[in-house]
Amino acid sequence: DTTQTTRSLVLGTFYSVIIRSMEDCDLDKAIQFQLVSFMLDYYDDIFTPPSDMKTHVSDRLKALQRPQVVYSPKPERTVRFCQQTSVTDFENQRVFSSHTALENLLEDIISDKNMKMKEKQKRLEQFQRTYPASTSIASQIPSLKLMSCHRKLN
């Protein structure tokens, strides 16, 4: 029927399906028709949630979307990016690194071409006084002094 409005088509076709009881009790068709008609007229008010509920849900969703930092009370769950070394390995590495750095310092003093011979000897003696515990490096100093003296003579 072309003269029928959308409203009357929906009411005439779906009123009995929209309001339907699980127990199959027969409601008065006039009451079903009035309820569906009311729902069509006020669907915006019926299906729109209250504004305070909207804000509560929105705030809750924002809180859930924020990154959560959870601290674990158990140390077994901690993330480690490197393996822990033993005390002896650490000490060996410390001694080796220090020894290498001192050797490099001594070599820099000796091989510096811009430094005068007197200044080199002064720094070598200062090195010997500052690092007396480095016996292997300190034992090289007299031979290095001799080498530098030979270079001076040549």
Lowest mean pLDDT among 11-15, 26-30, 94-98, 125-129: 26-30
Tell me which of 144 and 56 has the higher pLDDT: 56
pLDDT in tens, 72-125: 666 565 566 677 888 899 899 998 998 888 888 888 888 888 888 888 888 888
Task: Report the number of distinct structural domains present in the chain.
Answer: 2
Q: Does residue 53 lie in a domain region?
A: no
Q: Does residue 75 lie in a domain region?
A: no
Residue with tokens 């804000």: 55
State yes or no: pLDDT of 149 exceeds 60: no
Q: What is the pLDDT of residue 135?
A: 54
Q: Does residue 26 lie in a domain region?
A: yes
Nearest Cα neighbor of 148 from 101, 106, 99 is 106
Residue 25's identity, in one-letter code, is C
Q: Does residue 93 lie in a domain region?
A: yes
3-state secondary structure of 32: helix
Residue with tokens 């410390």: 94
